[in-house]
Structure 1
């Protein structure tokens, strides 16, 4: 049996990665502040709120789709079904995309530009640590069906 078939990750890292990204952004803003102009602050806060709301809707939709397809939500559990419906029609990683949008939205809402930077860094780290292993796991479990899905659906957006 292939080692990736058992489970993709030993530990569910992505929530911790994004939590660390948010914490790092606030530390960076405290020690290396990036200036934010006073004009149109309400636009930035409204845009941040909309990003956060969109991310929550995307995450709930993705989790509901996984539950409806009788497979796991947790990234350190073995997938039982290849899910290609719901938000998975548009992106292979809607939950991680939601985390990224939330991090960026917090930055806009709290007027912390470092959150935008750390959101991109967190997305890159998540791609390396989690997504690559998850994709190997899914490839070993679902083979050509997963390859076909990858060819028709973007990793992020």
Structure 2
């Protein structure tokens, strides 16, 4: 499940902050402000995406069969707003903790989520919704 992956990467970033601090001090205000913006934005994306999925009465659980192709609301801007929100939360917490060395985890997280969840989900949607999904992919980017 993607939340487990997010929690694992957050634990790695926290461990890096705790046991391998970078020694970089940006003050208290900026890391907290930037981290708060990113985490807040990520949570907002998650909430908007969940509400849109619920409105269409389809599943939010990866690997379950979708009963509808959601292309409205936040899904007009991103095909994967939940994963984008997860990434923003990870980046925000890395900023908040000033775990600068953990910035390298962000592309690893994105790649892992893409290979483990996004590609299989999109393959399923492509088979089930065919032309509707193809049009959606032409008009909406995978991430942003």
- Normalising by the residue count of structure 1, what TM-score does the alignment of the two structures yield? 0.86
Alignment check: 8 A CA contact 1:26 1:112 kept: yes
Query: Counterpart of 2:3?
Result: 15
Aligned to 1:119: 106
Q: Which residue of 1 aligns with 2:52?
A: 65
1:154 equivalent to 2:136? Answer no
Higher helix share: 2
CA contact (8 A) 2:80 2:143 kept: yes
Question: How many pairs align?
Answer: 144
> Which residue is 1:5 aligned to?
none
Structure 1 residue aligned with 2:74? 87
- Greater CA drift, 49-58 or 23-32: 23-32
* Residue in 2 that maps onto 1:8: none
The answer on whether the counterparts of 2:17 and 2:99 sit within 8 Å (CA) in structure 1 is yes
Q: Distance in 2 between matches of 1:18 and 1:117?
A: 14
Q: Deviations along 1:82-132, whole A, 9 cap, x unmatched?
A: 000011000000000000000111111122224432122111100011111
The answer to whether structure 1 residue 46 and structure 2 residue 33 are counterparts is: yes
Q: Which residue of 2 aligns with 1:101?
A: 88
Query: Which residue pairs with 1:145 in the alignment?
Result: 132
CA contact (8 A) 2:38 2:88 kept: yes
Please identify, of 27-36 and 74-83, the stretch whose mean Cα deviation from structure 2 is larger: 27-36
Q: Distance in 2 between matches of 1:76 and 1:114?
A: 33
Question: Could you tell me which residue of structure 2 aligns to residue 29 of structure 1?
Answer: 17
Q: Runs of 4+ in structure 1 displaced over 6 angstroms?
A: none
List gaps (5 residues or longer) in structure 1: 1-11
Q: CA 1:152–1:85 in structure 2 vs 1: closer, same or farther (change >3 Å)?
A: same
Q: TM-score, normalised by structure 2?
A: 0.93
Aligned partner of residue 22 in structure 2, secondary structure = coil
Secondary structure in 2 aligned to 1:143? helix
**SS, match of residue 143 in structure 2:** coil
